[in-house]
Amino acid sequence: MGTVEEVHNFLKTQNRPYNFNDIVSKLPNEKSKAAIQQALEKLKKEKKIFEKVYGKQKIYCVCQDTKHNAAELKKISGDLQAHAAELEVRRKALEHEVKIQEAKLGALKSGPTLEEAIKERDMLQLQVTALESKLDHLVEKTSSQPNLGENKKKAEVLRDQYSREYLKRKRIGSEIIDGILEGFPGTKKRLCEEVGIEERIVKIVK
């Protein structure tokens, strides 16, 4: 059985309106979209089916025999409108989701790159290490030089500031990787292997 006959028999058997994507997904035997579109155009020319346009949606339905009464035809028209309304709701929902994802992508693009975040994190780690070493040295002298207590407090404040900055950069790095993973068809390990991120860096931004 050819594609034209299959499409016609499907619409005739179901006897309800369908849009193009529904026909492609529900047709029993898998056919190419191009073949199905050609079949629909041929069936329209042969007046075996008819097409209704509701907004951006094209709805197809099998032509009924002339013996069908007005009530049946009215029901079919109502089904067409209801189906078109359902598709319009789905379209708006998808458009809304696309806008949300585009906003997330824009936020990620405006932030630092993964490489920049890693460099800043490494720099902050060195600064924290240096400050901790300096703090330890000051602690050793506290007993002999009481006035160092105030310097110790200042050093501890600086250490806390750098620690908070480090955690902030670490979170940014994690968000960047997670954001990329939303559209990546694989695992985090595979992503890092493909873009050349070293394993030690992946562990740090987890």
Model pLDDT for residues 62-94, shown as the tens digit of each residue? 887 655 556 666 777 777 788 778 888 888 888
Comparing 190 with 163, the larger pLDDT belongs to 163
pLDDT of res. 204:
46
Fold of 3-101: Arc Repressor Mutant, subunit A (1.10.10)
Distance CA 121, CA 117 (A): 6
Q: Where are the domains of the chain?
A: 3-101, 111-205
Place of tokens 């780690």: 125
Q: How confident is the model at residue 202 (pLDDT cuts 50, 70, 90)?
A: very low
CA angle 10, 12, 15 (to 5 degrees): 105
pTM over 0.85: no
Q: Facing residues of 52 across strands?
A: 59
Which one-letter amino acid corresponds to residue 105?
Answer: L
Place of tokens 């500031």: 161
What percent of the chain is predicted at pLDDT more than 70? Answer: 83
